[in-house]
Homo-oligomer: A and B are copies of this chain.
Amino acid sequence: MSEPEPELETMDKRVQRSKQTVLAATYKLLSEGGIGGVSVDGVSRLSGVSKTTIYRHWPSRTALLLDACSKLGTGPTIPDTGSLKGDVTMLAKHLAHELQSARWPAVLPSIIDAAERDPDLAQLHAGLHAGLMAPFLEVAERARKRGELAPGQKASEIVAAIVAPFFYRRWFSREPIDEEFVKSAVRDIVGRSKYK
């Protein structure tokens, strides 16, 4: 918002290459060691781009970190099966798969930790979280318009109810997220939305 953002097109090829290389390396270190595992020296070593150049493009380590983190949670395509159950099933399966294979789940705890103290990171976390939840929210909203949700029920509550058990499993109880679990989670949600 405050950055002029000088249009990738008009950028010097060398700058493009450098920035991209550096971001890739940062992302790798990030996913391997969390926020604490990222140092400018480390990024320089891994990427082969000299530290001097890195500091030419990012004013500080924090800036680089925020830049890399912001490209973390690219959501899936939003399904549209026509029913809440169908949509949620697809999203839940996708989430289950990502939680166990993608790289961002390994990074998120360190962001949450940092957000506990640093306002900038808290904001970043809010953005990431919103991005992750967006598909679920969209699906819930549609169900609402279809009349599949009880009157008093907020869409965000549905979203929390479906996602919370997944997160709990991934980071707190650390149990595997198998097909059985996904099924029962979806069942709970759908059951809850219909009655009462």
List 23 contacting pairs A-B, 8 Å CB cutoff, sorted by A. Answer: A34-B113, A34-B117, A106-B116, A109-B110, A109-B112, A110-B116, A112-B113, A113-B113, A115-B174, A122-B174, A125-B174, A126-B174, A129-B173, A129-B174, A160-B165, A160-B168, A160-B169, A161-B188, A163-B172, A164-B165, A167-B168, A188-B192, A191-B196
Is A127 engaged at the interface, CB distance under 8 Å to the other chain? no
Considering only CB atoms, which chain B residue lies closest to A32 in the complex?
B117
Given contacts A188-B192, A192-B188, contact A112 B160 (CB under 8 A): no
Q: Does A42 sit at the interface, judged by CB under 8 A?
A: no
- Verify if A171 is at the interface (C-beta below 8 Å from B): yes
Q: For chain A residues 123-168, which have a beta carbon within 8 Å of chain B?
A: 125-126, 129, 160-161, 163-165, 167-168
Residues from chain B with a CB closer than 8 A to the CB of A176 are none
A33 within 8 A of B: yes
| Inter-chain contact A116/B34, CB cutoff 8 Å | yes
Interface residue? A82 (CB, 8 A): no
- Complex alpha-carbon distance, A113 and B113, angstroms: 8
Partner of A173, one of B160, B165, B192: B160
Residues 167-183 of chain A, each 1 if its beta carbon lies under 8 Å from chain B, else 0: 11101111000000000
Closest 7 CB pairs of A and B: A164-B168, A109-B113, A164-B164, A110-B113, A109-B112, A164-B165, A113-B113
Asked whether, in the complex, the Cβ of A167 is within 8 Å of the Cβ of B167, the reply is yes
